[in-house]
Amino acid sequence: MSVMTQTGTAGAGAAAPVPVLKRPSPYPGWFFLPAAIIYGLLFLLPTVASLYFSLTRWTLFNSTFIGLDNFAQFLREPFLIKGLINTVIYAVVTSGLKVVLGLLLAVLLTSQIAARGYLRSVVFFPVLVSTVGVGITFTVLMHPTNGMINEGLAMLGIKGPGWLTNPSLALYSVALVDVWKGVGLATVIYIAGIVAIPKDYYEAARIDGATKLQNFFYVTLPLCRPATVTVIILSFIGGLRTFDLIWAMTRGGPGFASDTVASVIYKQYQAGFYGLSTAGNVVLFALIAVLVVPLTMLLNRREGHE
């Protein structure tokens, strides 16, 4: 604002003000309407409405304004803090592993290996499968006694843990399944990033005597940074919002050991506390914004600095 004012003053103080030619848009203004209506109805209206309803006690037919009571009650929930911590752990673990594994897989799948195209499809395939289906399948595979994973470990003489029944392990087990399912997308983003790196850089590095490892650290890793930023942001937001896989595999259990904010909210809905769970959604929205906005700014600022 101040910049505009200053510019305006300077302009008025100088000779004749220079008329700014506004380039006419090639499209009429009402072209914007269909998208605006859809966006308004399906996004803006529910967002504003949920902000309001989070301040009420409501059913489908009526609502009573109760101020910030829902928030106070939600934040008093004994397992909410656990859920918040779990959510952040889950988001950090899944996005971290997706970045590392996605990048390594992408490096492998962009190198000269046999059946490269086929392997790319294999890596991407889990992305296409229903999350609930994946959750149920892995629940069976991770069964403490009859699951294929522990049976396989038993054949090697290792006693497998209770993947989903051990409270200190359940969240990480689900996170691993999330990584298995989601790493394909990270890999595809990385592959796009890596193939876009001009070959010249590798050739220059080769003449300079770079080893494969040095190529990776000095050329590939820094130059596929835009892909890294995309993968981190997408998988971090995905991790913070996670619900379906947790619900399909543990329902937040054992106890509240693998509850996340989203599963806590769902439980409130199930119990009929609509206002309370709406307040929970607002908290989740705020949590995502508080964590992701600074992260995005940090990552993009460094990127822009290049």
Partner 1 sequence: MAGLELKSLHKSYGNVEVIKGVDLTVEHGEFVVFVGPSGCGKSTLLRMIAGLEDITGGELWIGEVLCNGVEPRDRGIAMVFQNYALYPHMTVYDNVGFGLKLAKTPKDVRDAKIREAARILQMEHLLERKPSQLSGGQRQRVAIGRAIVRKPEVFLFDEPLSNLDAALRVETRMEIAKLHHDLGATMIYVTHDQVEAMTLADKIVVLNGGVVQQVGAPIELYQRPANLFVAGFIGSPKMNFVSVTVEAVSAGRVAVAGKDMASIAIPARTDGLKPGDTVTLGIRPHDLSEESGGAIVGRVALVERLGNETIISMQLPSEASWLVVLDGDHNLSIGQNLALSFEPDRAVIFDADGTARHPDLD
Residues that bind partner 1 (CB under 8 A): 198, 200-201, 203-210, 214, 218-219, 222-223, 225, 305-306
Given a contact cutoff of 8 angstroms between Cβ atoms, the answer to whether 187 and 106 are in contact is: yes
Closer CB to partner 1, 216 or 243, in the complex: 216
Q: Which is nearer to partner 1, 22 or 208 (CB)?
A: 208
Torsion of CA 127, 128, 133, 136, to 10 degrees: -20
Report residue 282 CA to chain centroid gap.
17
CA R_g for the chain: 25
Query: Toward partner 1, which CB reaches closer, 172 or 218?
Result: 218
Nearer to partner 1, 101 or 219 (CB): 219
Burial 244-272 (b: 16+ CB within 10 A, else e): bbbbbbbebbbebbbbbbbbbbbbbeeee
Q: How far is Cα 123 from Cα 188, in angstroms, rounded to an integer?
A: 9
Q: How far is the CB of 112 from partner 1 (least distance, A)?
A: 14
Shortest CB 211 distance to partner 1, Å: 8
Smallest gap from residue 228 Cβ to partner 1 (A)? 12
Closer Cβ to partner 1, 216 or 218, answer by number: 218
CB 131 within 8 A of CB 153: no
